[in-house]
Amino acid sequence: MTTAAILKHCYDITESYLKIDDRVTNNSTISIIKETQDLLISTKQIFLNEILPYWNPIKDNISISYNGGKDCQVLLIIYLACLYEYFYMAALNFNNLKLDTMNTFNNMNTTVKFALKAVYLRQENTFQIINEFIEESSKKYGLSLYKSNIGSMENSLKEYMIHEKWDCNYNTKQKAGIIIGIRRSDPYALNLKYIQQTDKNWPQFMRLQPLLDWKLRNVWSFLIYSNEPICKLYELGFTSLGGVNNTVRNLYLKKTKCNQNGDKCKDGTSTSSHLWNHFQWEFQHRFGSHNKDDHSEDMTIEDNSIDHEYLCNDTESYYPGWFLIDDEKERAGRTKRK
Ligand code: ATP
């Protein structure tokens, strides 16, 4: 795919999601979708009005921090969609062309060199499945991905900024910006702003964080609907991705007698302690596919020798990551392996 085609594809996903309407009859589904649509609109506005006029690939001063996780994948799709909208619409205004003249962007793409910069801060002992997903997906999305040496976040970021020849001093007027898929429910993230400078003792750049207000349920609704391949660990019961030494499947997703049907509990008790798939509608209406069955539980997992030892130690079955929509329990799998 050309860069233009990738951007257009992501733009089409976001537009399609925004057009999901009241045909959805299930109240809980429609309320998640409506909430996510509002968040999608405001995230797009942050990109279009507050980020891209100052930081963009043409100015060579923006990058996305990408580790293959669900949050940065959602943000990446929206970022690419906004690049399409921002540059395509700008070309339309300038040339006064009609909306359906798709050649505009394609022509523009041959004269403007986009380098979709991305950075992966390598950590020790990562799952091979994650590494492979990062490789495949960054190729697919046309990212020029810099993989740092293994080290602390600070050192890796410094290394990256030196690599990009970005000035990280306080006095620089136009600091580089790095897009980060952090959400308020992440550790120390409650009071963050959409755009803010890094703390004093860190390499100096602007943190661009337009996904802050999204909840777990919004991330899953959009990502499942997008029909994009996601990191396979989520299908195995992981809800947040770290290294092999500090990440296990989420215990709240363990199948028990009570929740084994994977459906809403019918005994009249509260559903909060029971797991079910809130995103059946999104699965059945995934972008680009119509009326497909719900494959949310039967996706096949490729064998992977390096991860095998870790993944096969767990003999119990787990529901996929998207069965959990309680933000407070999302990181329950990010602990020391016993
Ligand atoms: P998940 O929570 O499922 O792992 P995620 O990795 O996208 O999804 P977090 O782990 O909460 O989300 O991390 C927040 C954001 O910080 C990521 O979306 C990404 O932008 C950035 N980030 C975290 N770790 C790395 C890393 N090793 N390299 C590059 N960016 C990272």
Question: What band does 266 get if pLDDT is binned at 50, 70 and 90?
Answer: very low
In the CATH hierarchy, which top-level class contains the domain 3-208?
Answer: alpha beta
Lowest-confidence range among 77-81, 84-88, 165-169? 165-169
Ligand 1 atom closest to 239 (CA): 3
Domain spans, the chain: 3-208, 228-333
Q: Is 180 in the pocket of ligand 1 (CB under 6 A)?
A: yes
The CB density around residue 101, as the number of other CB atoms within 10 Å, is: 14
Burial 129-153, CB ≥16 within 10 A → b, else e: bbbbbbeebbeebbbebbbbeeeee
Answer whether residue 315 shows pLDDT above 60.
Answer: no
Structure confidence at residue 307 (pLDDT)? 61
Answer whether residue 271 shows pLDDT above 50.
Answer: no
Question: What band does 102 get if pLDDT is binned at 50, 70 and 90?
Answer: very low
The ipTM of this complex is: 0.98
Q: Which residue has the higher pLDDT, 212 or 113?
A: 212
Q: What average pLDDT does range 231-236 have in this prediction?
A: 95
Residues 180 and 69: their CA atoms lie apart, in Å, by 11
- Computed over every residue of the chain, the mean pLDDT equals 83
Question: What band does 33 get if pLDDT is binned at 50, 70 and 90?
Answer: very high
Pocket test for ligand 1, best of 65, 146, 236, 330 (most atoms within 8 A of CB): 65
239 Cα: distance to centroid of ligand 1 (angstroms)? 12
Q: What average pLDDT does range 252-264 have in this prediction?
A: 67
Answer whether residue 246 shows pLDDT above 90.
Answer: no
Question: What band does 92 get if pLDDT is binned at 50, 70 and 90?
Answer: low
Share of the chain above pLDDT 70, in %: 76
Question: Cα–Cα–Cα angle for 166, 168, 172, nearest 5°?
Answer: 90
Q: Which residue in 207, 136, 199 sits closest to 175, CA to CA?
A: 207
**Three-state helix/strand/coil letters over the chain:** CCHHHHHHHHHHHHHHHHCCCCCCCCHHHHHHHHHHHHHHHHHHHHHHHHHCCCCCCCCCCEEEECCCCHHHHHHHHHHHHHHHHHHHHHHHHHHCCCCCCCHHHHHHHHHCCCCEEEEECCCCCCCHHHHHHHHHHHHHCCEEEEECCCCCHHHHHHHHHHHHCCCCCCCCCCCCEEECCCCCCCCCCCCCCCEEECCCCCCCCEEECCCCCCCHHHHHHHHHHHCCCCCHHHHHCCCCCCCCCCCCCCHHHECCCCCCCCCCCCCCCCHHHCCCCCCHHHHHCCCCCCCCCCCCCCCCCCCCHHHHHHHHCCCCCECCHHHCCCHHHHHHHCCCCC
Residues 116 and 136: their CA atoms lie apart, in Å, by 15
237: left (phi over 0), alpha (psi -120 to 50) or beta: left
Structure confidence at residue 172 (pLDDT)? 53
Answer whether residue 91 shows pLDDT above 80.
Answer: no
Q: Which residue has the higher pLDDT, 161 or 58?
A: 161
Q: Is 204 in the pocket of ligand 1 (CB under 6 A)?
A: no
Question: Cα–Cα–Cα angle for 259, 310, 261, nearest 5°?
Answer: 10
68 Cα: distance to centroid of ligand 1 (angstroms)? 8
Taking the alpha carbons at both ends of the chain, their separation in whole angstroms is 44
Residues 46 and 195: their CA atoms lie apart, in Å, by 9
**Are 274 and 265 a contacting pair, CB within 8 Å?**
yes
Q: Is 223 in the pocket of ligand 1 (CB under 6 A)?
A: no
Q: Which residue in 60, 7, 34 sits closest to 217, CA to CA?
A: 34
Model pLDDT for residues 136-192, shown as the tens digit of each residue: 999 999 999 999 999 999 999 999 999 999 976 655 556 899 999 999 999 999 999
Structure confidence at residue 288 (pLDDT)? 93
Q: Is 109 in the pocket of ligand 1 (CB under 6 A)?
A: no
Q: What average pLDDT does range 291-315 have in this prediction?
A: 51
